[in-house]
Structure 1
Amino acid sequence: MKMVIAGGSGFVGKALSDYFLNKGDEVLVLTRKLPSPSHSSKIKYVQWLTPNSHPNTYLEDADVLINLAGESINSGRWNENRKTRILQSRLDATNELLRIIKQLKKKPKVLVNASAIGYYGTSETETFTEQSSSVGSDFLAETVKKWEALAIKAEELGVRTVLCRLGIVLANNAGALPKMALPYQLFAGGKLGKGNQWVSWIHINDVIRAISFVIQHENIRGPVNFISPQPVTMDQFGKELSKVLHRPHWIPTPEIALKLLLGEMSMLMLEGQKVLPQALLEHDFVFEYSTLDKALNNLFQI
């Protein structure tokens, strides 16, 4: 199959590219900045979202579109300018994909659009599934709500659309885990804030397998929570991390310190939500890493 990945330069995009290439699929990555030519790369890179780019012709006969494009939410303090870029980068990329889809003679079979469990807002007591009516009102929730409302318009163009609501994706060399592990590796790990905030997580391998799963299952559409079936509290996460790394879990970081350091972005660590992958489980998806200890032991090769 011909797989088109927008935002394929991130760690999820790179893992997806490798997965599809190993399966024998054709992989095309849409990117703002073309990488240096490499004779060893089997990936075709196509420039988009620049004034002189014309990606349409390269996307004819695409079977699958995967949209991971958007500015990272955790690479800098959230001032108003940055929040505007975070939202607008997602809307611009999704609008461009919709424009391209409209002009394609042969439409792709499915659009897999990355999203986030931030849609539900935060809670220490509520459990969220795809059927939950609760929608958050904070910045992340509003961003996801606008992003999904745009992406789902691909359905009007005859393209099945899956909204992948990702939680914290665990990988050993990218994403949140290396940053969470560093204090423990320095013997300074401990509880963040109150510690009872929920961490809904998923192993990178299960993200890739679940994306492949929803592509193959034509009866899956709309929001799908990409999350392990066993979320934990932040304190439980830290204790499990300390056990795997053979380091103490002892120096707490108070809420006020994180708020002073990170500002509004501190909500990523101090607030959370307990989310379950109801849609995936109902369609009999089997997680390779359903428990945190198994996931961490794999990622740290212990």
Structure 2
Amino acid sequence: MHILLTGGTGLIGRQLCQHWLAQGHRLSVWSRHPEQVAKLCGGQVQGVARLQDINQPVDAVINLAGAPIADRPWTHKRKALLWSSRIGLTETLLAWLDGLEHKPGVLISGSAVGWYGDGGERELTEDSGPVQDDFPSQLCIAWEETAQRAESFGVRVVLVRTGLVLAAEGGFLSRLLLPFKLALGGPIGNGRQWMPWVHIKDQIALIDFLLHKTDARGPYNACAPQPVRNLEFAKTLGKVLHRPAFMPMPAFALRIGLGELSGLLLGGQRAVPQRLLAAGFTFQFTELHAALDDLSSRL
């Protein structure tokens, strides 16, 4: 199978490349820095700066590109970048797909549980609608709606609403390690907000599962079956790292320092993977402690 990835040099993309290279697939990565692709993703992976440089039919497209949403405050300039790196890039991808004589069978496009907005205590399945109209929700809704247009080309579209990915190689956990190792870790705000998490091994496995499940289409919550509250997450991470986790981050300080972005940390989603479980996917990690313990030796 020839698979094209956008965002292939990111945390999830790199792991997918390793997984699919081991299966014998041919991989291409669309990147602003194609010269770095082989080093980051594997020597057999082709990096392309332009989609027009792909000269062999593509069987599947994995669309994961997007600037990190929590790296810095959401100024007007930052919001524009977050939008263009997702919606703008996906529109370019769709224009290229439209012009292909031989179209791929499937487009798996990234999204996030932020699609629902801050869900409070409500359990959120793929049948739930958006709960709150905030910026992350608007961003994910537009991203999904753009990708969904590939259905009109006869392409099967799968939307992966990812939670917080737990990995030793980067991402969410890497930002927490220093304060926790310095015994400065703890809950954010009141710690009651829900955190939908997923181990990187399950994230890779579920994307591969959806790629090969030919009747899979539409949105899937990519998070473990048992989300936890922020307070429990902090305590569990502290235990795994053998560090105390009692130093709370006051909500008012986050609001002052991060502005609108603070809502991403103070809110949450009690999202559950109803459609993945119904489709027969089996999570390797369903308990947070086991997931963090698996990663602990590399943290």
Please indicate the TM-score interval, normalised by the length of the shorter structure: over 0.9
- SS of 1:173's equivalent? coil
More displaced stretch, 230-239 vs 70-79: 70-79
Alignment of 1:218-233 (within 5 A): 218-233=214-229
Residue 28 of structure 2 contacts residue 46 of structure 2 at CA under 8 Å; is this kept in 1?
A: yes
Alignment of 1:113-262 (within 5 A): 113-262=109-258
Amino acid at match of 1:8: G
CA displacement at 1:57 relative to structure 2? 5.1
Q: What is the distance in 2 between the residues matched to 1:268 and 1:104?
A: 38
Residue 291 of structure 1 and its aligned partner are, at CA, apart by: 1.1
SS for the counterpart of 1:115 is: strand
Find 1:298's aligned residue among 278, 294, 297: 294
- Report what 1:18 is aligned to: 18
1:9 maps to what in 2?
9
Contact 1:60–1:105 (Cα < 8 Å) also in 2? no
| Runs of at least 5 residues in structure 2 that lack an aligned partner in the other structure | none
| Residues 238 and 103 of structure 1, relative CA distance in 2, 3 Å threshold | same
CA drift of 1:96 comes to 1.3
**Aligned partner (choices 48, 52, 55) of residue 46 of structure 1:** 48
1:11 maps to a residue whose letter is: L
Query: What is the aligned length?
Result: 296
State the distance in 2 between where 1:218 and 1:63 align. Answer: 13
Q: Spell out, residue by residue over 1:198-238, the C-alpha distance to the aligned partner (whole angstroms, 9 max, x if none).
A: 00010111111000000111111001110100100000000
Between the two proteins, what is the percent identity of the paired residues?
Answer: 39
Give the whole-Å Cα distance in 2 for the aligned partners of 1:29 and 1:57: 11
Query: Are the aligned partners of 2:65 and 2:85 in contact in 1 as well (CA < 8 Å)?
Result: yes
SS of equivalent residue, structure 2 residue 72:
coil
Letter in 2 for 1:81: K
1:81 aligns with 2:77: yes
* Residue type at the aligned position of 1:98: L
- Distance change >3 Å, CA 224–CA 252, structure 1 → 2: same
Q: Distance in 1 between matches of 2:261 and 2:104?
A: 36
1:97 equivalent among 76, 80, 93: 93
Task: Compute the displacement of 1:135 (Å).
Answer: 4.2
Q: Select which of 107, 112, 121 maps to 2:108.
A: 112
- Is the contact made by 2:118 and 2:131 (CA closer than 8 Å) also made in structure 1? no
User: By percentage of residues, which structure has more helix?
Assistant: 2
4+ runs deviating over 6 angstroms: none
| AA partner of residue 137 (structure 2) | A
Find the aligned partners of 2:194 and 2:36 in 1 and give their Cα distance: 41
Summarize deviations over 1:29-81 as a string: whole Å, max 9, x none: 00012225869711100003xxxxxx235164211100011211122111111
Q: Which letter does structure 1 place at the counterpart of 2:15?
A: A
Residue in 2 aligned with 1:281?
277
Given that 1:199 and 1:232 are in contact with CA atoms closer than 8 Å, whether structure 2 keeps it comes out as yes
Say if 1:181 and 1:241, in contact at 8 Å, map to a contact too.
no
Cα RMSD, aligned residues only: 1.5
C-alpha distance 46-132 of structure 1, shift in aligned 2 (>3 A): same
Alignment map for 1:263-278 (pairs within 5 Å): 263-278=259-274
TM-score by length of 1: 0.94
What does residue range 63-78 of structure 1 map to in structure 2 within 5 Å?
63-78=59-74
